[in-house]
Amino acid sequence: MNLLKTSGLTFIATVIQLFVGLVINKAISLFVGPSGLAVIGQFQNISQLAMVASQGAINKGVVKYTAEYSKNGEDLTTFLATAIKITIVCSVIVGVALILLSGYLSNEFLTDKNFAFIFIIFGFTIFFYSLNSLFLAILNGLKEVKQLILINIVQSLYSLVFTTALIYLFGLKGALIALVTNQSIIFLYIFWKLRNHRVINLGLLKGVYSSVIATKLSRFALMAITSAIAIPVSHLVIRNYLVDNLGWEQAGYWQAIWYISTMYLTVVTTTLGVYFLPKLSEITDKKALRGELLSGYKVILPIVMLVSAVIYVLKDFIVYILFSDDFKPMIELFLWQLIGDVIKIAAWLLSYLMLAKAMTKRYMAVEVLFNVIFVGISIYMVNSYGLIGITYAFAASYSIYFVTVFLLTKKEFI
């Protein structure tokens, strides 16, 4: 399957996901407001850390090596048996930690002990999230794109009904409950859907654990853990700074513009994960690699630029549709956030090359450096220009990131 076909399928799934996100976000805006959206963003950053840790941070490696071993049944079985055992152990450990630390996490990061029960529920359900993510990573590596997209569509539609109902009934607490319980129900669907799969089956639990494969996966774990820590922590630091200096509502406006960026870029990031990671992992010829990257820039970047321009023109309407009148002050954040999004995608095309080629040290260094720079520039810009300064910092930081990643990867394709 080529880039255009993959992009087309992911586009269909993303349109559905965007619609679902629009409805859910509207519900949050009406029943929770800007300050509640900021709390949700805070929780999502914490949950990102927990989710990656519960997977053993190996899923990117699962995609890469599943693609590599897909033609060798015995090696693939040993690899997947090792991956599933790592995932089970890590998810149990993280789940227990969430339950035991629920009070501390609620008070420290959400500033309210009344949310401790959310972390307790999360501790019991994170096991299902980890297995869901592992199964989807395997499907990705096997290039079973249609199956992968179908599962994502079902997951989006279920989330629409379940999440909006809980938000309507319980407000902010309902939104948080939905975030930590969606995966439990979806796991049952995925388990049923893959019940006769040729590779994913209960027999993997009886497979041999390989320390050699675990070592290979550990390189991806280091990269994933670095991102899982650096990105959410930088956002937590920035959001806390905004709350302390500008208030929860201002932090909510930043969360809202970040949400818009995340939603419309989902089709791109999904394509990068579904198509580019396994594809770049397979290619060893420098010329072929250069051609694949160029095709990515020719197809993906113009689309991102066009969509960004349309969003900017329709920004007032988008805020009205997605949020409420309380969010009007965020309109000034659009221009430089969208410019930063274009630069971000240009850089991510190259950063996926580092993942595909397991450039562990370089990837980790760049991730840490970028997020430190992002935090530093954000604080300076917010002090100098107010809330809009954070979008200046976003565009500036990703410009630095793009140049850095290009210099570190150019020997692979030039």
User: What's the pLDDT tens digit per position in 192-239?
Assistant: 888 888 778 777 777 788 888 888 888 777 877 787 788 888 988 998
Q: State the pTM of this model.
A: 0.69
The predicted structure's pLDDT at residue 113: 82
User: What's the pLDDT tens digit per position in 151-167?
Assistant: 878 888 888 888 888 88
Going by the DSSP 8-state scheme, the letter that residue 383 receives in this structure is H
pLDDT, mean over the chain: 84
Signed CA dihedral, 9, 15, 18, 24: sign only: negative
CA angle 185, 81, 74 (to 5 degrees): 130
Contacting residues for 264 by C-beta, under 8 A, at least 6 apart: 18, 307, 308, 311
Signed CA dihedral, 371, 375, 377, 381: sign only: positive
What gap in Å lies between CA 239 and CA 306, rounded to an integer?
Answer: 29
**Range(s) of the domain holding residue 63:** 3-413
Query: Could you give the number of structural domains in the chain?
Result: 1
Residue-by-residue DSSP string for 148-178: HHHHHHHHHHHHHHHHHHHHHHHTHHHHHHH
